[in-house]
Chains A and B, each alone.
Chain A
Amino acid sequence: MRRWALWLPLAFFAVVLAVVGYGLVRPPDEPLRSHLVGQRLPAFSLPAALPGRPTVTGAATGEPRLINIFASWCVPCIAEAPQLLQLEAAGARIDAIAIRDTPADIARFLDRHGDPFAAIGRDDASKVQLALGSAGVPETFVVDGNGVIRHQHLGNITEEDVPVLLAELEKAR
């Protein structure tokens, strides 16, 4: 056997060490994206979150819309509230799904941070959230008039995301 072959195990070990080391220092993965982007919304209907207000469903609406997944207990949702108001002022229809929330808390949240929502549904056991492939709050889906999910925004909507979402809505028209 050749002499150099004796060094191969050590070289291999060094490669393994480098891979493991990289895995340790690498920043954590970004949250999981929904694999339903490009597919039709699953059929769902939720109880209305607030009395006298319409609720959100998975049915096609004929017009593009945003579906915002939020909760009154979610701090980043407060950060994105002004941007949602901005989107609504720019003509976007925004439906909302409140995750694990109570009507009283939702009403207080909307009172304090503004209410840009056309319809709000209550998802008490995160069932619709899981059916949509959403991995956290807040998240926002762009859905076209045929009910096809066209885009998913992860995390809170910042000032820079507003034109991006408006462009996605325009593309979904």
Chain B
Amino acid sequence: MRVLGFLLLAAATPAAAQTALPPAELANRQLSDPRREAQARALMEEIRCLVCAGQSIADSDADMAGDMRALVRERIAAGESPGKVRDWLIARYGDAVSYDPPWSWRSAPLWIAPLIVLAFGLWLARGLFRRRR
């Protein structure tokens, strides 16, 4: 009975996947070179999963995210730089595929606004303290 239970459990895992095929080889297997694996890992955390809102491909269990992890690992294992892999994805999906959008006039307010707000706060505080004296 117990053996049967284990067999059922073993059979249940693939059935839960969305598609019939097993995940790509490098979707869940680390690269043997730890330096390259670290590079790939850092990039995966910064690439958006296309079919799941708000998750990176490192976080997501979606089949497509697995295929994207495999793509990142394969290219980095082949000696491509993480920046080049990222550019390849951005050329196809636009800046939205990255959680670290490159500098452009559209993304500029993201970076500049906090500095402006901080400067304004300092100016405001200075005025208030000066008046107290």
Contacts and interface: CB of A to CB of B under 8 A. Distances in A.
Interface in A116-169: 124-127, 129-133, 135-136
B92 A34 contact: yes
A2 to B, nearest CB: 10
A132 B92 contact: yes
Interface in A61-97: 71, 73
Interface stretch (B3-11, B33-41, B100-108, B124-132): B124-132
B70 interface: yes
A25 interface: no
Interface string A9-39: 1001000000000000000110111111000
B79 to A, nearest CB: 18
Contacts of A99: 19
A34 B50 CA distance: 12
Given A126-B67, A130-B68, A101 B19 contact: yes
Give the dominant DSSP class at A's interface.
loop
Given A32-B93, A32-B96, A130 B71 contact: yes
Given A101-B21, A105-B20, A127 B67 contact: yes
Nearest to B128: A1
B71 A127 contact: yes
Nearest to A122: B21
- Contact-size category for A: 20 to 34
Contacts of B92: 34-36, 130-133
A38 B130 CA distance: 60
A129 B93 CA distance: 12
B53 interface: yes
B82 to A, nearest CB: 16
B50 A101 contact: no
B121 interface: yes
Interface in B95-117: 96-97, 117
Contact of B20 (A34, A73, A131): A73
Given A34-B92, A35-B91, A1 B127 contact: yes
Contacts of B131: 1
Interface of B: 18-21, 24, 50-51, 53, 63-64, 67-68, 70-71, 89, 91-94, 96-97, 117, 120-121, 124, 127-128, 131
